[in-house]
Structure 1
Amino acid sequence: MSAAKDCVATLIDDFQKRRPLRAGSLIITIYGDSIVPRGGTVWLGSLSKLVEPIGINERLVRTSVYRLTHETWLKGEKVGRRSYYRLSGPGRRRFEQAFKRVYHGAQPSWSGQWTLAFLTQLPPEKRQQIRDELEWLGFGNFSQGVLAHPVLSRAETMVALQELNAADDTIVMQTQTMEPMTSKPMRQQVRESWNLDELAELYHRFLTKFRPLWNALNTDNDLSQEESFIARTLLIHEYRKVQLRDPLLPDELLPTSWEGRYAHQLCRNLYRLLYQRTEIWLNKHLETAEGPLPAPGPAFYQRFGGLE
């Protein structure tokens, strides 16, 4: 077995050893990475065959898809004796919020402004819920009842708060550009407010897991189409889990040697090596009610700043 093939086998083994085996989360990764760019609908049987080599049997696929449908991630449709599933409306919105972070290109320059959200006037029983939602959007906890975001605008924050029925009870301000934009106490505040040390450790684990595959592929890229699909899927699955915890702060606020920057570069470079054989495999094995899945749309090739 070649080094690259051995790396893929190790990634599969690592995934299968986890308990509980989160098949539903992996299926969402496959929808986001492979199915949505091709129209978004797939026959359940072809999905089952796709994930079987990763260690997810047909029964577990059916159970997971049922649960994802109940949680409004997926929506099913019966055509004859076959079932086809796509992302639901709410599922697609959640997908777009989560996955656009994964494939982002270069970060734009930071303006030096901050958006501040004061939760002090919210009813106590609702305060924790709003804090959790804003932290999911990338806000950091500057002090008790005060959250801050360096990129999200006041208008964008107000839209999010309106959806949460909290706009009338939350004070939202936007600062002017700060000069200097960073300082020693500001960097320390950022490190504490977003727990960058814990996030750096998660990125370090990702780098440790996937660097051997990068080294092997640069020596001899002999992966089959199926192995390329598995490698790409597990790559995005693991990267997505860390990305969901990353506020994607501007470079100006991050440490000079930031593990997240290296992880993004590694994920981008591996994806570019794996995507072509993966797409050929998907052409052969994924079906809609009309036949094979359509080709990926133009937006697919803009991932990671451009694939070609």
Structure 2
Amino acid sequence: MAEQHTPRSLIVTLYGAYGRETAGPLAVAELIRLLAAVGVDAPSVRSSVSRLKRRGLLVPERTEHGAAGYTLSADARQLLDDGDRRIYGHDPAKLSDGWVLAVFSVPEAERHKRHLLRSRLGRLGFGTAAPGVWIAPARFHEETRHTLRRLQLDPYVDLFRGEHLGFAPTAEAAARWWDLAAIAKQHEEFLDVHGPVLRSWEARTGTPPEDAYRDYLLALDSWRRLPYADPGLPEELLPGGWPGARAAAVFTGLHARLRDAGAEFTRTAA
């Protein structure tokens, strides 16, 4: 199945992978060059940058040479910093760490915020324990706090930390809280697309910067969604043959082989 890489997602991935290394903003012309390498045309880059600006993630700023450019907002940097801990840290949670519960109530007159809150908790990896009660491994509590405050949803939510005391076995309960089959399918799809890419690179002797940049950015753009769809549950709660570790190993292999070589392409003059 072909993967879907949107221009907006690729721009966020580019800033997350390489944009934070630069002292100043990325010039618009440079964004166009770097996104062209992964098949995005200039009009799509410009319109996507405008949307990210309206969302408060990119801030217009001139480069040292006076060219139009964009840098990350403080909120965007926090978002990417939080993401780093998920994207590059693949150890599953431990049962002894406990859980974080998000308990919320939104007035009917503001039901659009209820939808936004549910959507955002789902994107943070929370499962649904009951109506208005969402659950995730406890290690996500700080990121959850940052995210809800950034979206001004914190007045509707109380966060708690605790342990599951029954009555159903925790593994049985977790299978209700999350759609584990759907999460496993996402891992398998990542493996189907990027496993052959890693094997191809393992058979090569050199690492051309543009090729490395292209394959790494596309892999990262796909991978960075998975640690949010998959909360990294303790191993004893997962079905046998869980593909998460295999998918993480493929991404780790691509990161080790391609990331630094790809950085050389980002530093090439347009």
TM-score of the two chains, using structure 2 as the length reference: 0.82
Q: 1:232, CA displacement in angstroms?
A: 0.7
Question: Which of 15, 21, 36 is equivalent to 1:52?
Answer: 36
Residue 31 in structure 1 maps to residue 1 in structure 2 = no
> Does 1 or 2 have the higher relative contact order (CA < 8 Å, sep 6+)?
1
CA contact (8 A) 2:32 2:41 kept: yes
Cα distance in 2 for residues equivalent to 1:82 and 1:161: 35
Deviations 1:182-209 (A, max 9, x none): x983212212211111011011010000
Cα distance in 1 for residues equivalent to 2:115 and 2:47: 32
Aligned to 2:120: 133
After superposition, the Cα gap between the structure-2 partners of 1:96 and 1:242, relative to the gap in structure 1 and judged at 3 Å, is same
Q: 1:123, CA displacement in angstroms?
A: 2.7
Residue 96 in structure 1 maps to residue 69 in structure 2 = no
Aligned to 1:234: 218
Alignment of 1:161-180 (within 5 A): 170=157, 172-176=159-163
Aligned to 1:87: 72
Cα distance in 1 for residues equivalent to 2:156 and 2:35: 46
Question: Which of 111, 136, 140 is equivalent to 2:96?
Answer: 111
Q: 1:136, CA displacement in angstroms?
A: 3.0
Looking at CA atoms only, which structure, 1 or 2, has the larger radius of gyration?
1
Q: 1:167, CA displacement in angstroms?
A: 5.8
After superposition, the Cα gap between the structure-2 partners of 1:166 and 1:87, relative to the gap in structure 1 and judged at 3 Å, is closer
Specify the SS of the correspondent of 2:19: helix
After superposition, the Cα gap between the structure-2 partners of 1:168 and 1:51, relative to the gap in structure 1 and judged at 3 Å, is closer
Cα distance in 1 for residues equivalent to 2:170 and 2:264: 48
TM-score of the two chains, using structure 1 as the length reference: 0.73
Specify the SS of the correspondent of 1:230: helix
Which ranges of structure 2 fall in alignment gaps of 5 or more residues? none
After superposition, the Cα gap between the structure-2 partners of 1:245 and 1:285, relative to the gap in structure 1 and judged at 3 Å, is farther
Aligned to 1:149: 136
Specify the SS of the correspondent of 1:190: helix
Residue 198 in structure 1 maps to residue 182 in structure 2 = yes
Q: 1:81, CA displacement in angstroms?
A: 5.2
Cα distance in 2 for residues equivalent to 1:71 and 1:242: 23
Cα distance in 1 for residues equivalent to 2:10 and 2:140: 32
After superposition, the Cα gap between the structure-2 partners of 1:276 and 1:255, relative to the gap in structure 1 and judged at 3 Å, is same
